[in-house]
Amino acid sequence: MRLLFVCLGNICRSPTAEGVMRHKLQLAGLADRVQVDSAGTGAWHVGKAPDPRTCAAAEQRGYRLHELRARQVQAEDFARFDWVLAMDHDNLRELCRLRPPQGDAELDLFLRRGGLAEHEVPDPYYGGADGFEQVLDLVELACDRLIEQIRERL
């Protein structure tokens, strides 16, 4: 199983989802059966580490994101990954636009696939520390629910 989490710049929401999911898969004993990555629909931050506020909030909960580097979604991602999960409707629309005809990946909103009533992970970039905490709350819950789905598929 291969998962790709996608936000706009790949420095806040999607690397948070990647780091949280990797950690939770390790705890669930599934890390060797599930590949996880993240990317952005935009190229502004390619090669950069996640936002320091993202890293600090994640670190307080035991997730290390410092080693991750932003990258942009590529056409081959739609064939390489089983699920490509967007953080919001704007990024999902962009993924639908970028998807090549031969791309077999299932596209969806991350929170919707995770079974949450709220479908969008709000972008914390222009807000305060509470926004990064809210992102972590949503991501942790959605990752737990996705792991249940992954167990069923495997």
User: Active-site residue 93, yes or no?
Assistant: no
Q: Which of 7, 12, 55, 143 is catalytic?
A: 7
Tell me whether residue 37 is one of the annotated catalytic residues: no
CA distances from 96 to 89, 105, 128, 137, 144 (A): 10, 11, 31, 27, 26
7 is catalytic: yes
Contacts of 134 (CB under 8 A, 6+ apart): 122, 124
Check 12, 13, 51, 77 and give the catalytic one.
13
* Segment (H or E) for 52: helix 52-60
Q: Which of 22, 71, 123, 143 is catalytic?
A: 123
Rounded CA separation 87/17 (Å): 9
The residues carrying an active-site annotation are 7, 13, 123
